Structures are given as C-alpha cells and as structure tokens.
A and B are shown apart, each in its own frame.
Chain A
Amino acid sequence: MQDEGIALYRRFLDGDEQALEALISLYRRGLLRFIYGYVHDEALAEDLLQETFVALYFRRTFKERGDASFKTYLYKVARNKSLNAIKKRKRKKEVSLEAITDDSPSQESELQAFVYGADAHETIEEKERRQAVQRALLRLKAEYREVIILRYFDDLSPERIAQITKRKTKQVYNLLARGKTALKEELKTEGVGYENG
C-alpha cells in the first residue's frame, strides 16, 4: 500500500487527476478519522482533508527514505493542518469552549459512520458497540486519542506514530498504555466490556 501511495503521489504531481482521486480514496477514511479526532467538527475536518492534499501538491518536500513512509508524511501534514486550525479557532473565539469540548453528537452522522467503519451488514449489537467505542474515544484526552487512533485504527507502528506526533518512541508506548487504561474506563461507563470492544 505504501508503494501504491508513492506511485499515485508522483502521478498526482504530474497533474494526473485520476491519481489524485485514487489517492483520496486510499487515505480519506483514515485521514478524516484522524483530523476529526482533533477538531471535532465535520465540515472543518473535510476542509482540512482537502487542504492536506493541496499542501501535498505545493510542498513537494516528501523524500523517499527508509525511515519515512509516505503515509507518515501525509499524516504529519494533516496533523499540522489540524493543530493550526485549532489554534486559529481559539484565537478567533468563534466557538465557545463548550462547543469545542462537546464531541458526542446524539445522532451518528454519515461522516462518523464512514470513518469508524460502519458496515451495511452490521447487526444492531455491533453498531451499538461501535458507536460506544466512538463516543468513548472522543471523550479521551487528545494525546491519548491521537496515538490510539493511529495505532489501532490506522495500524501504524509506535515508531511511525512517534515521527508523526514528534514524540519519542518511549513516550508513545507510555501514551498508548495510559490511553488504553483510560479507554477501558470510558467503555465501562458506556456499558461495553473492554475484552468485547
């Protein structure tokens, strides 16, 4: 998948629109989930996703090296965009603090169903469990949520997560351990057993 991403990225830089579409299709779900984890705003998350791809076109700073995969680079750009958006939002004070922290909408939106892997064939029980995990995740501290999403939803190694989040690998391991404990507690309040989730 990594090679596929790089090949598509090269074609995209050469102006191939189909390559861009394929690139979006390949990374959209994971990136949206990742960005939404920061901004908690669907419209903004979609905007930032687009900005990430626009930045990818103009920056052209990705160098193929053994220690940096294309996916890592992409997530780094998305993270910077998200953090900048949060800073801007706080500066403008457009949204009240309550609105920023209120991250559990009563109805599951199409975007949330998409990013958390809703399946047309899932049973009611599976759907409830998935939504409970989703709500529990959004209540976690941002630093826990960040590493847990990257590790367990995007299947990135702690080393890659360290590169994306600009932390030491050991710190990532610690955050993952503490994040899992916090998630376990949150799932308990949702009435979902950790071993089942």
Chain B
Amino acid sequence: MKTDKEVSREVTEKITKLEALRLRARKRIKQITVAAIMVGFLIPATVHFVTTEELNHPLQYAPPTSETPFDPDLIPEDSTETFYYGDGVEQVEV
C-alpha cells in the first residue's frame, strides 16, 4: 500500500498537470476570442464596403464619364432611382 508521502506526491503531480492544462485552455480561449472579434467585426465590414458600394451598384455610385458614357438600357425598368447622365451634370429621373 502507498505511503501518505507517495499519495501526497501523486496528488501534487495531478494538481500541477491540471494547472498547466487550465493555463493552456485560458490562453486558447483568449486566442479564440480575438479571432471571433476579427471575424465578427472587421471582416464583415470590409466585405460590406466592397460588395454594396463598388460591385453591385456601379451605376448608382459611379457617375458616367467620357470613357464610360451613360447607357439607359442598363437601367432596370422598374427602377425609381436617380441616375447621372453625361459627366454627372445632368440627371434623369426614371
């Protein structure tokens, strides 16, 4: 049978191991939290800017220039929005 000293040593070893595991778990939680903040705030903000302002509505936000003249065929039939015409001086209500 084990002596009290041996039992005590084994208990201490278990405590040390668990302490190390707990520290590692805390560190991991910190890393996950930072990653979650990145995914939750920074990345959606970037994606939103690119998709809505630049990719999906080029006509609405980028006035036509002499290189890219206004083309009324591009305007959807049911649209009620305002579009630039020419160099952006004249406008047309659709």
- The chain A residues found within 8 Å of chain B, CB to CB, are 17, 20-21, 24-25, 28, 46, 49-51, 53-54, 57-58, 110-111, 114
Contacts and interface: CB of A to CB of B under 8 A. Distances in A.
Contacts of A46: 2, 7
A20 B1 contact: no
Contacts of A21: 4-5, 8
B12 interface: yes
A58 B11 contact: no
A152 B48 CA distance: 73
Interface string B1-44: 11011011011101100100000000000000000000000000
Given A21-B5, A53-B11, 5 more contacts: A21-B8, A50-B10, A50-B11, A54-B11, A110-B1
A25 B4 contact: yes
Contacts of A49: 7
Interface of B: 1-2, 4-5, 7-8, 10-12, 14-15, 18
A20 B12 contact: yes
Nearest to A51: B14
Contacts, number: 34
Contact of B14 (A28, A50, A114): A50
Give chain B's interface secondary structure class: helix
Given A21-B8, A24-B8, A54 B1 contact: no
B1 to A, nearest CB: 5
13 contacts: A20-B8, A21-B5, A21-B8, A28-B4, A49-B7, A50-B7, A50-B14, A51-B14, A53-B11, A54-B11, A54-B15, A57-B15, A58-B15
Given A54-B18, A58-B18, A24 B1 contact: no
A21 B7 CA distance: 8
